[in-house]
Structures are given as C-alpha cells and as structure tokens.
C-alpha cells in the first residue's frame, strides 16, 4: 500500500483524533465530456487508483447554496417546487446554483433568498455543507442559516418564471419540520440536512454556528 493510500485508509479507520473526510487526489489519465448540458455536463474520467485503473462517469456540477430562514418564532420557510427528475413537488428551503462566476456563496445565498422568497436577512451563519451524491456528482451545497428577516421592497422584487413562478411559501415550526423529515415525508436533501442541522444547532444553544458576512451588505 502506498503512503498516500495508507494515510487515507488510516484516517478513514479512525486513526486521527478528528473525524473528518480526507481530500485526496488520484491521477486522472483521461478526461472526456460525454454531454454538454444546459446547466451541467456529464463527464468521464479514467482514474489511476494505484493497483488498478477505473472509469468513472459523473455530473460535473457548479455547486449550490441553500438558506434555512428562521423567523422570531423558530419557524422555517419552505417553498413548494416541482422537481421533474423525481416527479414530485418537494418542500425545500430557498436555494440556487453557484452559476455566477466568482460570486461568494454567502452573496449567492442572499440573492436566492431575495429572488425566491422576497426576503432579506440581517444575520447569517454557515450551517452545514454536503456533497449531495458523491458517487455520481461533484455537487457541493453550502447551507446557511438566516435570521433577522425583513421583506424586500416591492420595487426591488424579482420576477419569477417557470417552476419558480408556481412556488408556494409555507412557514413551518422547526420541530414540526424535524418530525416531517424523520417520518419520511420530506425528501429534498437541503431540507433534510438543513432542518436537522438547524435543530441540532438550536439544541446546542447555537454555539456551533460560524457567522458569515454577505459581501456588500456588511
């Protein structure tokens, strides 16, 4: 076993004091774009794992952000949105792609909150991060917690189109949202992860939260 592989294996087996994922690069011997999509591409890599070479096909994703917006009564804002691949209308927090080149994730989160929910937030924290489908996509989502909410003035509101035009907002008590997640009634990864992370952070007195500043709003 190589030193690099051994280190990664040791970390995965709990050899380090801190439990954490280990960023690891394997040599890519060939990279092909199989499909240029409207939003993301499907690509194929030949990867050298040391003892073998494998072909891995996956979605090359821009990444995304999501916002768990909590009001003064600890109600979370969820929006109904039709998701065609799963043939369902899902309840999700405001969210969107990191598809503006160079845009800070916190700024993207603030933009999505304004565009999808007509809301601004006076306080922001990084809540949790996740790779949605690490075996088949590069998508990484940063989920933020937003509080001290206020409405976007009418003259600055975004005109929503397509699926977004039909979104319905619903304010749900955080405990009720947790119950719906654990009952298997909510399935969006940003909802499941964000709601459970927010409830856990609240149970710890919000001490785990990392505050962030939104560029241009400090």
Taking alpha carbons only, the member of 133, 148, 126 closest to residue 194 is 126
Give yes or no: 164 in active site: yes
Q: DSSP of 77-101, one letter per residue? A: EEEEEEEGGGTEEEEE-SEEE--ST
Sheet holding 75-83: strands in order across? 88-92, 75-83, 169-173
H-run or E-run covering 107: helix 105-117
Give the 3-state secondary structure of residue 163: helix
3-state helix, strand, coil in the chain (%, to 5): 25, 40, 35
How far is Cα 10 from Cα 29, in angstroms, rounded to an integer?
A: 26
* Of 116, 164, 176, 217, catalytic: 164
**Secondary structure letter of residue 114 according to DSSP:** H
Residues recognised as catalytic = 164
């Amino acid at each position: 076993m190589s030193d690099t592989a051994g280190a990664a294996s040791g970390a995965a087996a709990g050899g380090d004091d801190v439990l954490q994922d280990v960023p690891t690069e394997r040599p890519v011997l060939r990279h092909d774009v199989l499909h240029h999509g409207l939003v993301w591409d499907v690509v194929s890599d030949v990867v050298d794992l040391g003892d073998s070479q494998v072909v891995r096909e996956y979605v090359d994703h821009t990444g995304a952000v999501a916002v768990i917006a909590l009001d003064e009564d600890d109600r979370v804002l969820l929006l109904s949105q039709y998701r065609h691949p799963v043939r369902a209308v899902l309840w999700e927090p405001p969210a969107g792609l990191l598809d503006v080149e160079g845009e800070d994730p916190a700024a993207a989160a603030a933009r999505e909150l304004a565009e999808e929910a007509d809301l601004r937030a006076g306080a922001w924290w990084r809540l949790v991060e996740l790779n949605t489908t690490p075996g088949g996509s590069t998508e990484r989502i940063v989920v933020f917690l937003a509080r001290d909410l206020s409405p976007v003035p009418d003259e600055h509101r975004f005109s929503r189109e397509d699926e977004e035009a039909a979104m319905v907002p619903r304010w749900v008590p955080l405990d009720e949202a947790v119950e719906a997640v654990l009952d298997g009634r909510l399935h969006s990864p940003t909802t499941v992860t964000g709601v459970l992370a927010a409830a856990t952070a609240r149970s710890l007195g919000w001490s785990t939260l990392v505050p962030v500043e939104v560029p241009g709003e400090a």
